[in-house]
Amino acid sequence: MKTEIQELVTLFDQNKGEGGGSMKWLFRPLLQMLTKGEPVTVEDIATTTGKPLDEVKDILSTLSSVELDEQGRVVGFGLTLIPTPHRFEVDEKQLYAWCALDTLMFPELIGHMVHIESPCYSTGKPIRLTVEPDRVLSLEPTTAVVSIVTPDDTSSVRSSFCNEVHFFSTESAAQNWLNQHPNGKVLPVKEAFELGRLLGKRYEESGPTNESCCDI
């Protein structure tokens, strides 16, 4: 594993991020429930995780980035039912992700192969890839890269991190973004996938999960 990726993981680990320790039991089951393509109720989260209903409600109230519908059901947290540029197809259901790195990290967390399509942030050229839990199966164009930032404050993970993490068709296409983000960097998609897998290991201590399904 490249030292650069290890250094990035260390930087992320120094910041617990939005949700803190609750992501150990909440994040992975929530992602798996969202893959069904339907809003997730607080009651469903409590049943799936084995946590008291009030505790689940309290945690959700602290997540500034969580997306809720009018009934208070979760419709997005990293993986979302609300359209974004990052299309995320799993089991023939059309979902979306908040950022490019999410699309690479989530296949292992949900235990499914996914098909991803996202425009190059600079040129608009479509980038298409198929990702299995343990590898990038296909990538077009093969020169695609992912922009990465390491914010000091991830109390709102979407605004501080996700909104700056994009696909670019080539490293040269990302040059303008790099000029505007001197502390940012770009990684080839397969290296970004390895970074995502390492970051995803922080959520391996999740509680009980839905057996029909295989924290940033």
Determine phi and psi for 105, rounding to 5 degrees. -85, -35
The active-site residue out of 54, 58, 69, 102 is 102
Active-site residue, 102 included:
yes
Active-site residue, 214 included:
no
Rg of the chain, C-alpha, whole Å: 16
pLDDT exceeds 70 at position 54: yes
pLDDT band at 165 (very low <50, low <70, confident <90, very high): very high
Give mean pLDDT, residues 160-183. 94
pLDDT exceeds 60 at position 173: yes
Q: Are 213 and 31 in contact (CB under 8 A)?
A: no
Domain boundaries of the chain, sorted by first residue: 1-202
The b-or-e profile of 182-211 (16+ CB within 10 A means b, else e) is eebbbbbbbbbbbbbbbbbebbeebeebee
pLDDT of residue 210: 38
pLDDT of residue 156: 64
pLDDT band at 160 (very low <50, low <70, confident <90, very high): confident
pLDDT in tens, 95-129: 999 999 999 999 999 999 999 999 999 999 999 99
Q: Which fold has domain 1-202?
A: Beta-Lactamase (3.30.450)
pLDDT of residue 3: 75
The active-site residue out of 44, 120, 162, 215 is 162
